[in-house]
Amino acid sequence: MPLEMNKVLTFNYSLKDEEGAVLESTANKEPLIFLSGTNQILPKLEEALGEMLIGGKRNIKIEAAEAYGKYDEKAVQNIKRNQFPPEAKVEVGVSYLANSPDDGQMPFVITGVKEQDVTIDFNHPLAGKDLEFDVELVDIRDATAEEIQHGHVHGPSGHHH
C-alpha cells in the first residue's frame, strides 16, 4: 500500500553500501522527519515506510537504478584549471556548484587533478550504488494545514520560520 499523502513521518535509519560500509546514519542524531508525497526521500524508501507500523524496524534494499540512478560516464568532464577562480581550492574530493543551463545549480566533485587538467564528476555520490537501509519508524501523524500549504514539516526537527 503506498503511503498516504500529507503524513508526517519520523524515522531513524542507517544506510549501507554493497560492502556493508555505513554511509549515513541517524544514530546519535535527531531522526529524519519528512512530509509524504513531496519527494523529500527516495520514492522506494517512502513506499516501504508507508507499509510499516510505528516502532517497527525493517531492512530495505534498493537497487542503484531505483535509488540515485546508474553511474553515467558522460557526467564526467575534463576542464582546465583556469576555469576555476584563482582562489578556488582545486583538489581531489572538493565539491563545487556549477551553474546549469536552466539557471539552476549542479553539484560536482573534483575527481582528478593533473597539472592544468581537472576531472570533475556530476554524478550523485551514491549513483551506481545498490543501497541497503535499516529503518525504524518512530512516528506517523497527519500534517497540519499549514505544513501541507508550505510543503514541509514544521516543529522542532522541521522548518523554522
Instruction: Kindly list the residues in this chain that would bind Zn ion in the complex (CB under 5 A).
Output: 150, 159
What are the cell numbers at 136? 525504524
Query: Which of residues 119 and 144 has its CB atom nearest to Zn ion in the complex?
Result: 144
Query: Which of residues 58 and 150 has its CB atom nearest to Zn ion in the complex?
Result: 150
Measured from each CB, the residue nearest to Zn ion is 150
Other CB atoms within a 10 A radius of the CB of residue 11 amount to 24
Q: Report the nearest approach of Zn ion to the CB of residue 146 (Å).
A: 7
Q: Are 42 and 76 in contact (CB under 8 A)?
A: no
Query: Which of residues 81 and 150 has its CB atom nearest to Zn ion in the complex?
Result: 150
**18 in helix, strand or coil?**
coil
Query: Which of residues 10 and 123 has its CB atom nearest to Zn ion in the complex?
Result: 10
Q: Report the nearest approach of Zn ion to the CB of residue 154 (Å).
A: 6
Q: How far is CA 82 from CA 77, 90, 101, in A?
A: 15, 10, 21
Query: Which of residues 72 and 142 has its CB atom nearest to Zn ion in the complex?
Result: 142
What are the cell numbers at 23? 554511509
Sign, Cα dihedral of 113, 119, 120, 126: negative
Q: Report the nearest approach of Zn ion to the CB of residue 147 (Å).
A: 7
Closest by CA to 141, choosing from 48, 22, 51, 10, is 10
CB-based contacts of 129, cutoff 8 Å, min separation 6: 17, 18, 64, 67, 68
Q: Report the nearest approach of Zn ion to the CB of residue 50 (Å).
A: 23
Q: Report the nearest approach of Zn ion to the CB of residue 33 (Å).
A: 13
